[in-house]
Amino acid sequence: MSFIDLRDFLAHLEKAGDLARIRVPVDADQEMTIIQHRAMAAGGPALLFENVVGSPYRVVTSLFGTRRRTDLAFGGDPAALGQRVLRLSRTLMPPSVKGMVRARRDLLALSTARMRKVGNGPIMDTVADPPDLNRLPVLTCWPDDGGPFFTLPLVHTTDPDNGSGNLGIYRLQRFDGRSTGMHWQIEKGGGFHFHRASSMNRPLPVSVILGGPPSLIAAAVTALPEGIDERLLAAYMMNRPLDVIHRSATGHRVPARAEFILEGTVTPGDMQWEGPFGDHFGHYSHAADYPVFRVRRVLARKDAIFPATVVGKPVQEDFYMGEAIQEMTLPLLKIIRPAVADLWAYPETGFHALAVMSVDERYPREALKHTLGMLGEGQVSLTKVMITVDRRVNVRDMAAVSHALWRHLDARSGIHLLAPTAQDTLDFTGPAMNTGSRLILMATGGDGRPLRGEPPRHVPAPADLHPHVRDTAALGPAFLMVQVKAACRDIAPLRRQLRHHRSARDYLFHIIVSDDVPLTDRTLMLWGWFTRFDPLADLYPAGRTVVGNRLIFDFPITIDARWKTGYPKPVEFDPDVEKRVDRMWKTLGLPDC
């Protein structure tokens, strides 16, 4: 099933009882965030706010708030989409008439992955020149955000050299009625285009698309190889061409059935302070100077609907979108790396903080080759911790990964610390923005014989360790989780106690987390662990040995994953806004949450 635009998608959801119309006045300043969070936590419907305080436009959120809705937006099972391309590559290589006949259905689907130029479309219903962005119901999601942010903008640019297109989602802080920030992070296609335009000392035309076919949003999030236009992927998901209108003002082809399009430019040297912003790592990102997007005009459909999303501590919409994207792209990955059985970036950690890969190792140390190769691929290169295991291990089950590490992680050859490296812009744990380190753990099994015998059977009680320990839990035999009180400033005594305690010493890693990280909630446990440590700065092995030119770590290794001074705050709701939402809840027509 495919949808030609956002309204087609919403009509389907409403017919299926998966859309709630909220007709009472709701403020885009934090109230929508809390309502969406509660509705998502209850597995609730997409939300259409029809009476937005201070704006004539409606807002839709939680479009991807369940896996069912996410799969619908992708046009079906995401894994099946990837398998279709994989099947084509295997059937048509080497090319033959017989192979083309066998692949005729897949080839027919692939032939629709194109853009179809049309003379007009609903997006041309109204043109505001000059624009007034203050009329748009832009969300302020968290109390300490730097201002209102566009959270679901599809930013289209073209390469100044060769004209190839890129579509990505980059947050835009609304500065005033005619300008926003342009938060281009490293490894982003739009940022590469701006870099080339800057080298030519010329402005870069930008078209920001809001709404349109839901597959367009899904495609914009997908990390495709540089130079491949995400709009073609959207058409492939829809199984029909994407209708576009050529705009002479920008030179861009824009979706004819979008809800809004902001047209303008980003100019080299035109910078403004942007942020902070509560991002998908569950903390406020650091504020910094970013390019300014100068909006020249706004195109809009009649009665346009403003799409938005919320990011923060998991689980949010990006959790389900990220899962679907990984399932779709894994078959494509196998085309270039057949030895890779599976790869899973954990959405609980913001994706870039932890990835686990399974490999079919055919000769000694082959898995390390594929691990280093993957860490050179696109946005996977921003992975902070990469764990590589044997193909028989379920990479999506952290307990199974922990058992693989217990059996096969050799401190002499399986731990690789890389520093300094580039780092995700939103990762705040490194010494400076965009910089950090990498940790590689290799546990592929070698000759198949385990390195260790019986795994640890007991979890030490908090009272047996240190007065500042609040809770303990095991995540498989490799990881002992230790939650400490906020008063715990110096962890050196605790590290020593863990190293020698009869129940704790057999775990490979001791993970120390802050008291806001519940050890009873696996999702938040992984969130609090992987978003709050830098491998170079926060690993404390029991001992270090230099062998030749190589540094060898001794187990157990303590990881200090506490929140530290200098880190941005984790996001939390404003209690006063929560109380307002409590008072209005009965009028929203949503289930009790």
State the Cα–Cα distance between residues 204 and 202, nearest whole angstrom: 7
Q: Would you say residue 325 lies in a domain?
A: no
Residue 534 lies in a domain: yes
Give the number of other CB atoms < 10 A from CB of residue 475: 20
Determine the straight-line distance between the first and last CA of the chain, rounded to whole angstroms. Answer: 31
**Set 243, 279, 318, 534: catalytic member:** 279
d(CA 22, CA 589): 7
- 328, part of any domain: no
586: Cβ–Cβ under 8 A, 6 or more apart, which residues?
none
Both 212 and 250 in one domain: the answer is yes
Please check whether residues 273 and 155 belong to one and the same domain: yes
- The CATH number assigned to the domain holding 41 equals 2.30.110.10
**pLDDT tens figures, 92-112:** 444 454 544 454 565 556 667
The neighbour count for residue 85, using CB atoms within 10 Å, is 18
Residue 293 corresponds to which amino acid? F
In a domain, 335, yes or no: no
Three-class SS state of 505: coil
Pair 26, 32: CB distance under 8 Å: yes
Nearest to 68, CA basis, from 78, 83, 53: 78
Alpha helix segments (H runs only) across 261-381:
317-336, 366-374
pLDDT digits (tens, 9 = 90+) for 34-46: 999 999 999 999 9
Whether residue 399 is found in the same domain as residue 487:
no
Task: Count structural domains, the chain.
Answer: 3
pLDDT digits (tens, 9 = 90+) for 463-489: 999 999 999 999 999 999 999 999 899
pLDDT tens string, the chain, 593 residues long: the values are: 789 999 999 999 999 999 999 999 999 999 999 999 999 999 999 999 999 999 999 999 999 999 999 999 988 888 888 887 777 655 544 445 454 445 456 555 666 778 999 999 999 999 999 999 999 999 999 999 999 999 999 999 999 999 889 999 999 999 999 999 999 987 788 889 999 999 999 999 999 999 999 999 999 988 777 777 888 889 888 989 999 999 999 999 999 999 999 999 999 999 999 999 999 899 999 999 999 999 999 999 999 999 999 999 999 999 999 999 999 888 878 777 889 999 999 999 999 999 999 999 888 889 999 999 989 887 788 899 999 999 999 999 999 999 999 999 999 999 999 999 988 888 999 999 999 999 999 999 876 789 998 999 899 999 999 999 999 999 999 999 999 999 899 999 999 999 999 999 999 999 999 999 999 999 999 999 999 999 999 999 999 999 888 889 999 999 999 999 999 999 999 999 999 999 999 999 887 65
The answer on 273 and 129 residing in a single domain is yes
Task: Report d(CA 593, CA 585) in Å as an integer.
Answer: 9
- Active-site residue flag, 279: yes
| Cα separation, 554 vs 546, whole angstroms | 11
578 found inside a domain: no
Give domain status of residue 336, yes or no: no
144-181 as b/e, with b when 16 or more CB fall inside 10 Å? ebbbbbbbbbbbbbbbbeeeebbbbbbbbbbbeebbbb
- Cβ neighbors of 521 (< 8 A, separation 6 or more) are none
How buried is residue 507: exposed, middle or buried, by Cβ count under 10 Å (0-12/13-18/19+)?
Answer: buried
557 lies in a domain? yes
Residues ≥6 apart with Cβ < 8 Å to 555 = 411, 508, 509, 541, 542
| Co-location of 474 and 438 in the same domain | no
Q: In 3-state terms, the chain is what percent helix, strand and coil (to 5)?
A: 30, 30, 40
* The residue type at 162: N
CATH number at 524 reads 3.40.1670.10
Residues 435 and 475 in one domain: no
Strands 284-285 and 277-278: antiparallel
Is the same domain home to 264 and 124?
yes
* One domain for residues 24 and 157: yes
Are both 128 and 251 inside the same structural domain? yes
User: Tokens in use for 146?
Assistant: 């730097």
Q: Same domain, yes or no, for 220 and 136?
A: yes
For residue 399, what are the domain limits?
344-443
Considering the domain boundaries, does residue 190 fall inside one?
A: yes
DSSP letters along 419-475, please? Answer: EEEE--TT---SSSTTEEEEEEEEE--TTS--S-SSPP-----GGGT-TTEEEEEEE
Looking at the fold, whether 64 and 158 belong to one and the same domain comes out as: yes
Write down how long the chain is: 593
Structure-token pair, residue 17: 């009882």
Domain shared by 363 and 302, yes or no: no
